[in-house]
Structure 1
Amino acid sequence: MSMIGSKLKNIRKANGLSLKELSNRIDGKISISFLSDIENGRSNPSFENLKLIAAALETPVSFFIEDSENNIFSNAANDADFMHVINLLQDFKDWNIEDKKELLYYLKAKKVIRDNTNI
């Protein structure tokens, strides 16, 4: 499976979409079989098709083409649960301040707990 294919499959699944639903989001401009071929490494999308796919998944094109070896989240693309969290955070800038604080307090508390249990 190609890097693009595995990332596509994981983010599609994290969004709870079937290949058919993804194809429908792209107004059928990319067939279900071609999407399957991309996911399974049998084909590579053109940059134009990759832009359509990224837009349908509300994900930047760079997500699919960045070098995962240099990315601190290199294994994240292979973790559907993590991708679901990333999708939930896509609109973080639009959250109200209380929700942002709550999330940040939770993360800080989680770090303190983790640090204190690894002593």
Structure 2
Amino acid sequence: MQLGDKLKAIRKAKGISLQKLSDITATIPEERISVSFLSDIENGRSNPSIDSLKIIANALDTPTSYFVEDSQNNTFGEAINDINFLPVIELLKDFNNWNIEDKQELLYYLKAKKVIRNTK
């Protein structure tokens, strides 16, 4: 998945318009990323600088690496390209702060779900 496709996917998954994303990037007026530039990025007509990419990633509360990593080398593999997986990533961001019982419960659920899927 290309950078522009990733940007569009995560923006849409979070329910943020191009205008809203542009507004969020304007914490410092000189750093505002224009709607037209965001659109150009999404449609593959432009590539952002690293600094601009960091501003966009911060505005989307997403690691900059999400946009530049090859999905095959990513912890989540190809799943990272699935818009339906993005909310899961959001929920797992604070996984290190979960208590051991909650971590085990999630693991048991995922293992049970895998067994059910494999028996269909």
Q: Provide TM-score, normalisation by structure 1.
A: 0.82
Q: What corresponds to 1:40 in structure 2?
A: 43
Instruction: Give 1:1-119 correspondences, 5 Å limit.
Output: 3-27=2-26, 29-71=32-74, 73-74=77-78, 76-77=80-81, 79-115=82-118, 117=119
- Report the AA paired with residue 23 of structure 1: S
TM-aligned CA distance change 1:67 to 1:96, over 3 Å: same
Q: Deviations for 1:14-71, whole angstroms, at most 9, x for unmatched residues?
A: 1121112211221161011111110111111001000111111222111111123544
Root mean square deviation, CA, Å:
2.0
Structure 2: state its 5+ residue gaps: none
- Report the AA paired with residue 58 of structure 1: D
Q: Provide TM-score, normalisation by structure 2.
A: 0.82
Structure 1: state its 5+ residue gaps: none
Distance in 2 separating the partners of 1:91 and 1:16: 21
TM-aligned CA distance change 1:19 to 1:75, over 3 Å: same
Q: How many residues align?
A: 115
Q: Relative contact order: is structure 1 or structure 2 higher (C-alpha 8 Å, sep ≥ 6)?
A: 1
Distance in 1 separating the partners of 2:102 and 2:24: 30
Identity of paired residues, percent?
A: 63
In 1, are the aligned partners of 2:37 and 2:46 still within 8 Å (CA)?
yes
SS at match of 1:74: helix
